[in-house]
A and B are shown apart, each in its own frame.
Chain A
Amino acid sequence: MIREPFATGDSVMHRLDPRVKVLSATAYSFLVALSYHFTTLWAALVFSLFLVASARYRPTAVLQRLVPVNGLILFFWAVVPVTFQGETLLTLGPLQITREGILLSARITLKSNAIILAVMALVASSPVAVLGHALGRLHVPEKMVHLLMMTYRYVFVIEQEYQRLLRSAKIRGFRPATGVHTYRTYAYFLGMLFVKAAGRAERVHQAMICRGFRGKFYCLCDFALTPLDWAWSMVLSGGMVGLLVLEWMNGSW
């Protein structure tokens, strides 16, 4: 099921202006992604944890979100240390584990987790509809925002439609297995999904036109920067400057 478990709440993160959140999340992600030194990366992880803590999510929900991402990172840990060339630390039969490979894997682990935690705190705390309007205010092309909102609106509907198709196939005794029959069945599911989606799009569009739609979603929420937004902008940019200083100090040594 597709859900947005973090979008509702009344923590500081939920009350911040989405524009502030989107901008700082982007800047912060790039800063961390391009950092190199371990001191910076650990500091970034701590700062990200602080951000997640101030969003006051359920800790189990946060951990659940981290699992798939770290599964991917485990793949890196399995592959990078033995394929990366460099100083050999340990030889296991034909495999050589290199120092550079281990360091790189560690760096990727820290970076990924720091960025994901921060994005979870800053961006996932707003519903996508609000984020869409915020992006519009930040001069993202209107058509793009429109497309994002439309997609977001119908993701849930289409998912239900897919579940219904799957249910009816199961009732008729469909059991997925490796084989052409299964693949063909899934292909027909998809085809049906696209046909239904296109039909629905046509009806939705006509209904929108009937109600006077002129190619623009009007936003009822008011974006205004409060003292809280200013304070948190300072905290966030302070954190980023701190990380920059750390990175620069380590670099000059």
Chain B
Amino acid sequence: MHISEGVLSGPVLVSGMILAAAGTTVGLKRLDYDKVPRAGILSAAFFVASLIHVPVGPSSVHLILNGIVGLLLGWGAFPALLVALILQALFFQFGGLTTLGVNTVIMAAPAIICYSLFGRAVHGATRKAFAAAFACGFLAVFFSALLAALSLIGTEEKFFKVSVLLLTAHLPVMIIEGIVTAFCVAFLKKVQPGMFARPGMTDPVRGEKGGGK
């Protein structure tokens, strides 16, 4: 989800940058130097995953996956998503330099929110974890669309109808993200449960061996 260049007003762009800088600073502080390769390679994986187009009826949508990013990286999601957005801007000219801050907040803030809401629940019993992961994927996209809509309205109140349209248009994406996140979390729980970040721990980006407490 991107807001392209030239749409938003100065105050919105600047507040996006300030929030993104704050989030990234926290994220970087919580990321050990030892864990940077891991965060980097995972962020490369998210970048590639976001290029996957999933069919929906006659059309297709591409995955956003900020919910899973939150679950796997915790606060590291901020710098990781910022990097992914920089690369998207460089490789495909999506987004851009001025909107980098706003777009980072749009993607990463929901990741952090979902991480703090569902970070514990995904470790629970299979069924509960599945529901929590679905909610995580669904809500992450919902919050992203909401933030995008808010930044449009903050630019110009007359964007209200566009914003409503933006939110409703993302409804199928939310459902698909929910389903994909739920299955992906179920898969990871079976294959490598130590991969998830855990709320309340100082080091959210954990090594492979960090399974149970």
- Residues on the B chain within 8 Å of A143, using CB: 28, 31, 33, 36, 79
Indicate if the CB atoms of B40 and A147 lie closer than 8 Å. yes
Interface size class of B (residues with CB under 8 A): 35 or more
A114 to B93 Cα, complex, angstroms: 12
0/1 interface trace, chain B 72-93, chain A, CB 8 Å (1 if under): 1000000110111011011111
Q: Which of these, A33, A83, A200, contacts B6 with CB under 8 Å?
A: A33
A73 to B43 Cα, complex, angstroms: 28
Interface size class of A (residues with CB under 8 A): 35 or more
Indicate if the CB atoms of A108 and B208 lie closer than 8 Å. no
Is A159 engaged at the interface, CB distance under 8 Å to the other chain?
A: yes
Residue among A141, A152, A180 with most chain B CB within 10 A: A152
Indicate if the CB atoms of B33 and A147 lie closer than 8 Å. no
- Residues on the A chain within 8 Å of B4, using CB: 69, 72-73, 108, 112
- Residues on the A chain within 8 Å of B45, using CB: 158, 193-194, 197
**CB-nearest residue of chain B to A159:** B48
- Residues on the B chain within 8 Å of A29, using CB: 5, 96-98
How close is A68's CB to chain B, nearest CB, in angstroms? 7
0/1 interface trace, chain B 98-115, chain A, CB 8 Å (1 if under): 100000000000000000
A147 to B79 Cα, complex, angstroms: 8
Is A57 engaged at the interface, CB distance under 8 Å to the other chain?
A: no
A2 to B84 Cα, complex, angstroms: 13
How close is A50's CB to chain B, nearest CB, in angstroms? 18
Indicate if the CB atoms of A151 and B44 lie closer than 8 Å. yes
0/1 interface trace, chain A 1-15, chain B, CB 8 Å (1 if under): 011100000000000
Describe A's contact surface by its main secondary structure: helix
- Residues on the A chain within 8 Å of B96, using CB: 29, 115-116, 119
Indicate if the CB atoms of A147 and B83 lie closer than 8 Å. yes
Q: Which of these, B48, B51, B165, contacts A79 with CB under 8 Å?
A: B165
Q: Which residues of A does B touch, CB under 8 Å?
A: 2-4, 25-26, 29-30, 32-34, 65-66, 68-69, 72-73, 76, 79-80, 83-86, 100, 104, 107-108, 110-112, 114-116, 119-120, 123-124, 128, 131, 141, 143-144, 146-155, 157-159, 162, 176-178, 180, 182-184, 186-195, 197-202, 204-205, 208, 215
Known: A143-B31, A205-B38. 9 other contacts (CB 8 A): A65-B93, A115-B96, A116-B5, A123-B97, A143-B28, A178-B56, A190-B52, A192-B191, A204-B37
